[in-house]
């Protein structure tokens, strides 16, 4: 929660860039852009706002003086920034939260990533010095790639970025911007595309309680996890249980069979 508390302090700092996005917007209080005040959502505040027309992604970017952090997670209605506690809906299931240190090069790549993917941004402050970054002004003005951008060649379904953190961690970031029309059965699965790219089999934990998994096929390299079991030496006492089924786990991650690749995402292994 320390990094989230930095968001709270950053919301009143005019020199700090702040972008918070979540397809399930925080319910209690939401910052009103451009005004130093908070507004209530009234009687329905516990439900929050579900934005199904935007990409299924959740995170926060904070940046100042050449350094910043990216927090990517799977928690609905989180964070509200004031207060920073988890929402009731977020704590019902297991979740993932990953924090990554970033520099200006990664920041520019992240802005392009947001432009490609079109998240629901519920809180944003962009100091003028960052408007020079490619696509930053468009994102600030709620303009995103829609498959018909004269400034950009047609994007592939899942464009990727090679990134390296200030601490030396190297990783690939994939954007999902498939604007294909037609039947869902014909759309590509991000998980299957990545597995094919790395030519690896993966064990994947994703949330698909209410979804029909349209990706199951002998040719696919993905195996959907049905039960999580924690080895005793790693388990802490949580209701005296060290295992749970996938319908109690809202996190999304995968491991390659050789153990060398880890994937963290907010995408389910469904279309």
Give pLDDT, residue 120: 93
CA distance 72 to 112: 16
Give pLDDT, residue 109: 97
Phi, psi dihedrals of residue 173, rounded to the nearest 5°: -115, 130
Scan for tokens 């579900």, then name that residue: 50
CA distance 12 to 91: 28
Give pLDDT, residue 196: 87
- Give long-range contacts, CB 8 A cutoff, 24+ apart: 63-67: 63/16, 63/17, 63/18, 63/102, 63/104, 63/107, 63/130, 64/10, 64/13, 64/15, 64/16, 64/17, 66/103, 66/104, 67/101, 67/102, 67/103, 67/166
CA distance 199 to 110: 26
- For the chain, the distance separating the N- and C-terminal CA atoms, rounded to the nearest angstrom, is 32
Q: Are 246 and 205 in contact (CB under 8 A)?
A: yes
Q: Are 20 and 70 in contact (CB under 8 A)?
A: no
Give pLDDT, residue 230: 78
Give pLDDT, residue 243: 83
- Is 193 in a helix, a strand, or coil? helix
For 118-256, strand residue ranges (E) read 121-125, 160-164, 170-174, 202-205, 222-224, 227-229, 243-245, 253-256
Give pLDDT, residue 24: 86
Per-residue tens of pLDDT for the chain, all 271 residues: 555 666 656 677 899 999 999 998 886 544 444 344 444 444 444 566 777 678 889 999 999 999 999 999 998 888 876 655 666 666 778 888 999 999 999 999 999 999 999 999 999 999 999 999 999 999 999 999 877 655 555 556 678 899 999 999 999 999 887 554 444 544 567 888 888 889 999 999 987 665 555 555 556 688 888 888 877 665 665 555 678 888 888 899 999 998 899 999 888 886 4
What pTM, to 2 d.p., does this model score? 0.80
């Amino acid at each position: 929660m320390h990094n989230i508390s930095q968001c709270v302090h950053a919301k009143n700092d005019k020199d700090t860039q702040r972008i918070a996005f979540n397809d399930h917007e925080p319910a209690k209080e939401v910052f009103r852009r451009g005004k130093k005040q908070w507004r209530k959502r009234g009687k329905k505040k516990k439900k929050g706002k579900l934005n199904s027309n935007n990409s299924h992604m959740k995170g926060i970017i904070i940046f100042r003086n050449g350094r910043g952090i990216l927090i990517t997670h799977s928690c609905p209605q989180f964070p509200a920034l004031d207060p920073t506690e988890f929402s009731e809906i977020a704590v019902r299931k297991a979740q993932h939260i990953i924090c990554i240190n970033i520099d200006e090069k990664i920041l520019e790549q992240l802005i392009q990533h947001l432009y490609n993917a079109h998240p629901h941004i519920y809180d944003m402050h962009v100091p003028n010095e960052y408007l020079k970054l490619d696509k930053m002004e468009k994102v600030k003005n709620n303009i995103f790639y829609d498959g018909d951008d004269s400034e950009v060649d047609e994007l592939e379904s899942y464009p990727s970025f090679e990134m390296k953190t200030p601490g030396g961690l190297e990783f690939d970031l994939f954007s999902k911007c498939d604007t294909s029309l037609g039947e869902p059965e014909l759309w590509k699965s991000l998980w299957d595309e990545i597995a094919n790219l790395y030519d690896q089999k993966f064990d994947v934990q994703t949330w698909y309680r209410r979804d029909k998994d349209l990706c199951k096929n002998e040719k696919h390299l993905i195996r959907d996890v049905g039960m999580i079991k924690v080895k005793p030496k790693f388990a802490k006492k949580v209701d005296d249980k060290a295992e749970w089924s996938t319908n109690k786990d809202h996190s999304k991650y995968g491991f390659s069979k050789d153990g060398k690749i880890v994937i963290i995402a907010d995408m389910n292994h469904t279309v």
